C-alpha cells in the first residue's frame, strides 16, 4: 500500500520532482544559480511567458490552438508605447489590453464564420492572423524599435510593474497571482469553465448536450487575447522598448509550457496551476543552460526535442485512455 502510494505520488508530481532535481543539479554545477540576482532574473523572464501560457491553457483545453499570440504581443507592445505621449500611460495600457481583446475576438469570429472547428484549421487560421498582426506592427513603426524611455510623459506605471514592490512581493508577481486566482476560479467553479472542457473533449457531444459552443470559443480566444496583451505590457516594462518582432517565439514556448504542465493537447482537460509549473520548469531549464554556457542553438534543439516528446507522450496517453 505504501509503495503504491509513493508511486502514485511521484507519478502525479513529476513536474515538481523535475524542478527540484534541476535546481539541485544546477546549484551544484553553478553556485550562482542560487543568487538573488539570478532568481530576480528568473521571475522577470517568467512574467510575460506565464501570461501567454495561461491564456493558451484555456484555448487548448477547449480543443483549439492560438498561434496568433506572437503577433499580438508585438502589436500590443508597439501600440502601447506609441500611445503613451498621445493619451498618457494609463489609457495607453488600457487601449493595449483592448487591442489584445479585439484580436482574440477577431480570431474567434474568423473561426466561427469559417466553420473551422478543428484544431488543425484553427492552427493555420491563427498563424495567418499572427502574420497580419505582426505586419501591422511593422507598418505602424516602419520597422523601427520604439523606446519606452524616450517618452515625454511619465512612465511610472511601467517602472512599478518592472521593479515596484509591495512588502516582499513584486507588483508583477501580485498581478500574476490575482490573474491566476481569477482563471482558477473560472476553470473550477463556473459554468463556462466546465463548458470549455466539455467542448474540448467532444464538440459534437457538447453541442447535442446544449453546450453553447460558439460562446465558449469566443470566451477562450478573448481570454487568450487579454492575457497575451497583459504579458506584452509586462514585457515592455521589463525591456523598456517595443519591437515589431519582439513576440516571436512566445507561441511555441507557451504551448510547450501548457503541454509540459499536463494539459491534453487535443483538449478536454487541463489546469492553469499545472501550466504554472510547466512554464516554471521551462524557464528554469533555459536559465540553467544559460548559466552553464550552453549555446542558444543547442537550447533551441532541446526545446524542440522536449516539445516533440511531450506531444508524443500526450498522444500515447490519449490512445491508451481511448482503449
CB–CB of 118/124 below 8 Å?
Answer: no
Q: For residue 26, what pLDDT band results from cuts at 50, 70 and 90? A: confident
* Closest C-alpha among 211, 84, 87, 208 to residue 155: 84
> Would you state the cell numbers that stand for residue 49, as one nine-digit string?
511567458
- More confident site: 30 or 69: 69
CB–CB of 149/81 below 8 Å?
Answer: no
Average pLDDT of the segment spanning 73-77: 97
286/6 Cα distance (integer angstroms): 30
Q: What is the pLDDT of residue 126?
A: 96
Q: Give per-residue pLDDT as tens, 156-175.
A: 999 999 888 887 778 888 99
Strands 169-170 and 165-166, sheet pairing: antiparallel
7/1 Cα distance (integer angstroms): 10
Quick check: 9 pLDDT over 60? yes
Domain ranges of the chain: 29-248
Mapped onto helix, strand or coil, the DSSP state of residue 241 is: strand
Q: For residue 60, what pLDDT band results from cuts at 50, 70 and 90? A: very high
Q: For residue 84, what pLDDT band results from cuts at 50, 70 and 90? A: very high
Quick check: 8 pLDDT over 80? no
311/308 Cα distance (integer angstroms): 5
Q: What is the pLDDT of residue 10?
A: 62
Query: 62 φ, ψ to 5°?
Result: -80, 0
Quick check: 318 pLDDT over 70? no
Q: What is the pLDDT of residue 294?
A: 82
Q: What is the pLDDT of residue 299?
A: 83
Quick check: 322 pLDDT over 70? no
306/320 Cα distance (integer angstroms): 21
Q: For residue 323, what pLDDT band results from cuts at 50, 70 and 90? A: low
Quick check: 235 pLDDT over 60? yes
- More confident site: 294 or 54: 54
Q: For residue 186, what pLDDT band results from cuts at 50, 70 and 90? A: very high
Q: Percent of the chain at pLDDT above 90?
A: 57
Q: What is the pLDDT of residue 168?
A: 75
Give the dihedral sign, CA 165/226/251/58. positive
Q: For residue 12, what pLDDT band results from cuts at 50, 70 and 90? A: low
Quick check: 1 pLDDT over 60? no
Quick check: 7 pLDDT over 70? no
Q: Is 135 left (phi over 0), alpha (psi -120 to 50) or beta?
A: alpha
Q: For residue 293, what pLDDT band results from cuts at 50, 70 and 90? A: confident
Amino acid at each position: 500500500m505504501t509503495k503504491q502510494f509513493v508511486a502514485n505520488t511521484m507519478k502525479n508530481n513529476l513536474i515538481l520532482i523535475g524542478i527540484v532535481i534541476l535546481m539541485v543539479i544546477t546549484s551544484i554545477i553553478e553556485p550562482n544559480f542560487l543568487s538573488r540576482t539570478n532568481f530576480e532574473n528568473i521571475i522577470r523572464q517568467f512574467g510575460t511567458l506565464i501570461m501567454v501560457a495561461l491564456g493558451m491553457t484555456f484555448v487548448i483545453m477547449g480543443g483549439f490552438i492560438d498561434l496568433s499570440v506572437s503577433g499580438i504581443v508585438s502589436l500590443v507592445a508597439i501600440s502601447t508605447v506609441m500611445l503613451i505621449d498621445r493619451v498618457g500611460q494609463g489609457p495607453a495600457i488600457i487601449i493595449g489590453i483592448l487591442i489584445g481583446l479585439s484580436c482574440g475576438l477577431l480570431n474567434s469570429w474568423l473561426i466561427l464564420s469559417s466553420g473551422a472547428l478543428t484544431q488543425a484549421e484553427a492552427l493555420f487560421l491563427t498563424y495567418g492572423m499572427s502574420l497580419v498582426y505582426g505586419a501591422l506592427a511593422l507598418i505602424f513603426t516602419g520597422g523601427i524599435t520604439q523606446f519606452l524611455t524616450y517618452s515625454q510623459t511619465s512612465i511610472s506605471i511601467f517602472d512599478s510593474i518592472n521593479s515596484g514592490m509591495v512588502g516582499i512581493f513584486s507588483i508583477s508577481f501580485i498581478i500574476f497571482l490575482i490573474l491566476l486566482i481569477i482563471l482558477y476560479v473560472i476553470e473550477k467553479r463556473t459554468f463556462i469553465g466546465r463548458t470549455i472542457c466539455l467542448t474540448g473533449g467532444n464538440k459534437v457531444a457538447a453541442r447535442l448536450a446544449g453546450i453553447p459552443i460558439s460562446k465558449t470559443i469566443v470566451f477562450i480566444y478573448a481570454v487568450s487575447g487579454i492575457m497575451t496583451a497583459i504579458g506584452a505590457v509586462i514585457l515592455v516594462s521589463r525591456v523598456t522598448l517595443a519591437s515589431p518582432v519582439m513576440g516571436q517565439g512566445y507561441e511555441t514556448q507557451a504551448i510547450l509550457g501548457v503541454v509540459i504542465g499536463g494539459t491534453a493537447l487535443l483538449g478536454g482537460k487541463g489546469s492553469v496551476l499545472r501550466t504554472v509549473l510547466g512554464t516554471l520548469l521551462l524557464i528554469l531549464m533555459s536559465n540553467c543552460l544559460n548559466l552553464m554556457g550552453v549555446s542558444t542553438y543547442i537550447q533551441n534543439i532541446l526545446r524542440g526535442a522536449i516539445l516533440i516528446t511531450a506531444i508524443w507522450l500526450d498522444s500515447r496517453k490519449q490512445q491508451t485512455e481511448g482503449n
